[in-house]
A and B are shown apart, each in its own frame.
Chain A
């Protein structure tokens, strides 16, 4: 009879035990052939018996957290069909044939490829410098009084380095918990890319607001950024860098992004307008642009007054 493998899954990681003997016992006690240290596993949880006719018998040995096969409680089961999915306490396991096909090898993100964004530490450094540059530029554009280098360093250190550092730290800890690895370089690269994209997209949305004399570009950006772009970026990271499955990555991405998205969206005037149908503030397009690019036609005073006569009354809130 061909050898079998017991695949034991813990926190997304798998370990494998060969089942070579005719009878293999599984449990928490140290006299078992396969020892599982989880407290939900009984000292003697189950035994796996290999018969001469290539059939396999699984026998439950415990009344507390009894063994389940394909989500069904069982006393014993004889089968020839592999793989067999088991629940041993809260541990998930599968009995696989030795020739069970494994997934294709995933390439390491950009390892040994200097052109790949995640491939080399120099990219991380370059992106961190780009973030500092953007942050410094933003500070410079907002310096209406004489420029002070000391203030620049303070703001760049406080707002940019701390922001990027905090996100990298939190995500690194999460990654360590999820896949038992540290991938700091890839995280720095990812967080910096998101930071830069946010700056560019926010400015682009502002420019589009002016172009269309409308507020939908900024509204779209605010909702799209936090509800779509950030979760998608995290999910892509988890699939491609952490090598998690797409479904699991999507759920994790939503969970990870929600602490960022919820406060940001709650502070957005657009959401406020959706949740509360009344505002005592006049929401008019006060944005101005040095480029002065707009699709709205420039009208005479007469035409403006004629069109203003058609301005409808404000809507009463409920």
Chain B
């Protein structure tokens, strides 16, 4: 009886403690309004803001965490811009870079003095739990947005949390709290309509740990460091793709690689044809989602796009068929870039035997001007030798090490099987 009484007492106390620990948005705001700042990129000449985001105190109290894309402009033009923070009471100061995690869109900045109490970090709460995003939307002042945790998105290599709440421009880099007031992630992007994305706090914790040795040289050419990080991430991604078991996908006479990773989604992309069309065409387009923000000019790299196209006709003669086939075989990398950003493409042509069929294959590469070792790669391969059947693969990868893409192209070709 005494035991039951004690147990009941403990449960009640636990329940009470749990209720006491659960904070509402008002309380979280009040607790953290001195620890969340506006992070600004300012022009050295005019002293005016060029871009804004949010940040919050971490580490020893002199460090601010934010998104890489908030301060990316400084990496491109360090002589023109610098980073500063401004607090609730107008307290401001210059920040220097202490570490970058470009792949996960994080930056660690340091002030020359302690600026407040660091915010404690924690793991992700259960799916559906309330979470709270703080930041400075549209330069209108500090605010807090309430939403729920949608869980880790597996289509982005576990680097994004789905936040069913509203993030707005200017809130990037701000903290996302659980209901105990601990940071579980960093605001990073939105797809509007209350669909937003958060970077899990574990990547920030890793960045803080990596930066503890002080080896990061903020005065060096950081574009080299950005390129190194992007290439390391992309190489690791490609290696992971190569290790994966690729499911099959049947497209008429070809058996092809399906979604080669959970980060890839495949969609039917077949164009609707008029009733009088004398041919049939089928198109499947697969793309990944874990793109990496590079800078204002390049936007995102790390795209993997592959497309299969099948064309057939019983009614067109060979000349008509090939005229149509040739007109359709002209895929390009869609992003238009300037000469200041990328080189010209260099292309070469081969006739490659794949599963007893001959494919006219073109491989093109172009390099990034500012980011050493980074390339965009375009591979196309069109079936030849059939008068009434056409097929081509297009494979596009952006911001990658050219050499690292060749094993992936090889695996694509080896995995493609002609089924007469």
Contact = CB atoms under 8 A, between A and B. Distances in A.
B353 A298 contact: yes
A313 interface: yes
B279, B322, B382 — which one has the most chain A CB atoms within 10 A of its CB?
Answer: B322
Interface stretch (B196-204, B208-216, B252-260, B333-341): B333-341
B92 interface: no
Interface string B335-357: 11111001111111111111000
B322 A284 contact: no
Given A144-B278, A281-B332, A292-B385, A308 B367 contact: no
B321 A314 contact: no
A290 B337 CA distance: 35
Contacts of A101: none
A297 B409 CA distance: 20
A228 B337 CA distance: 36
B318 interface: yes
Interface in B395-411: 402-403, 406-407, 409-410
A11 to B, nearest CB: 48
A296 interface: yes
Interface stretch (B51-59, B166-174, B358-366): B358-366
Contacts of B350: 296, 299, 304, 307-308
B277 to A, nearest CB: 5
A285 B403 CA distance: 22
A288 B343 contact: no
Interface in B277-292: 277-279
A219 interface: no
Interface stretch (A71-79, A174-182, A272-280): A272-280
A292 B336 CA distance: 33
A294 B276 CA distance: 34
Nearest to B388: A290
Interface SS, A side: loop
Given A144-B278, A307-B350, A314 B343 contact: yes
Q: State which size class the interface on B falls in.
A: 35 or more
Contacts of B332: 281-282
B316 A144 contact: yes
B380 interface: yes
Interface string A69-87: 0000000000000000000
B322 A290 contact: yes
Contacts of B385: 292
A177 B326 CA distance: 46
A37 B298 CA distance: 72
B362 A286 contact: yes
B330 A286 contact: yes
B413 interface: yes
A309 interface: yes
B387 interface: yes
B343 A284 contact: no
A302 to B, nearest CB: 8
Contact of A311 (B276, B322, B325, B346): B346
B322 A288 contact: yes
A144 to B, nearest CB: 5
A1 interface: no
B369 interface: yes
B344 A314 contact: yes
A290 B319 contact: yes
A267 interface: no
A283 B345 contact: yes
A141 B333 CA distance: 29
B337 A280 contact: yes
B318 A278 contact: no
A294 B384 CA distance: 11
A290 B360 contact: no
Contacts of A140: 320
Contacts of B378: 282, 284
Contact of B387 (A143, A290, A309, A318): A290
Nearest to B396: A282
B329 interface: yes
B19 interface: no
Contact of B318 (A280, A287, A290, A318): A290
Contacts of B316: 144
Closest 3 CB pairs of A and B: A314-B343, A284-B362, A290-B318
12 contacts: A277-B344, A279-B344, A283-B345, A286-B326, A286-B380, A309-B403, A314-B342, A314-B365, A314-B375, A315-B344, A316-B339, A316-B369
Interface of B: 274, 276-279, 316, 318-326, 329-330, 332-333, 335-339, 342-354, 358, 360-367, 369, 375, 378, 380, 382, 384-385, 387, 390, 402-403, 406-407, 409-410, 413-414
Given A296-B349, A314-B346, 12 more contacts: A213-B349, A284-B347, A288-B326, A288-B360, A288-B384, A289-B322, A290-B321, A297-B351, A298-B352, A308-B350, A314-B366, A317-B343
